[in-house]
Amino acid sequence: MKRRFPRVRDLVPLLKFKRFEPNPRKRRLAAALTIWDLRTIAKRRTPQAPFDYCDGSAEQEISIARARQAFLDIEFQPRVLQDVSTVQTDSMVLGKKVDWPVGIAPTGFTRMMHAEGEIAGSRVAGEFGIPFCLSTMGTASIEEVRSNNPNGRNWFQLYMWKNRDRSMELVDRANKAGFDTLILTVDVPVAGARLRDKRNGMSIPPALTVKTILNAVPRPEWWWNFLTTEPLKFASLENWNGTVAELLDSMFDPTVTIEDLKWIRQQWPGKLSVKGVQTLEDAKRITAAGVDAIVLSNHGGRQLDRAPVPFLLLPRVVKELGKDVEIHLDTGIMCGADVVAALAMGANFTMIGRAYLYGLMAGGEEGVRRALEIITSDITRTLKLLGVNSVNELEPGHVRQIWSQKNLTS
Strand partners for 319: none
State the Cα–Cα distance between residues 294 and 317, nearest whole angstrom.
10
Residue 10 CB-density burial (10 A; 0-12 exposed, 13-18 middle, 19+ buried): exposed
- Contact, 338 vs 304, CB < 8 A? no
Instruction: Out of 114, 299, 328, 398, pick the active-site residue.
Output: 299
Count CA within 13 A, CB hemisphere, residue 73. Answer: 16
Phi, psi angle pair for 256, to nearest 5°: -65, 135
- Contact, 237 vs 243, CB < 8 A? no
The amino acid that residue 108 corresponds to is G
State the Cα–Cα distance between residues 62 and 263, nearest whole angstrom.
35
Strand partners for 262: none
Query: Could you tell me which of 347, 328, 383, 356 has the C-alpha nearest to residue 89?
Result: 383
Q: Does 398 qualify as catalytic in the annotation? A: no
Query: Could you tell me which of 256, 295, 286, 292 has the C-alpha nearest to residue 271?
Result: 292
- Contact, 186 vs 276, CB < 8 A? yes
- Contact, 288 vs 281, CB < 8 A? no
For the chain, report the end-to-end CA distance as a whole number of angstroms: 59
State the Cα–Cα distance between residues 142 and 365, nearest whole angstrom.
18
Burial 170-193 (b: 16+ CB within 10 A, else e): bbebbbebebbbbbbbbbbeebbb
- Contact, 260 vs 268, CB < 8 A? no
Positions marked active-site: 299
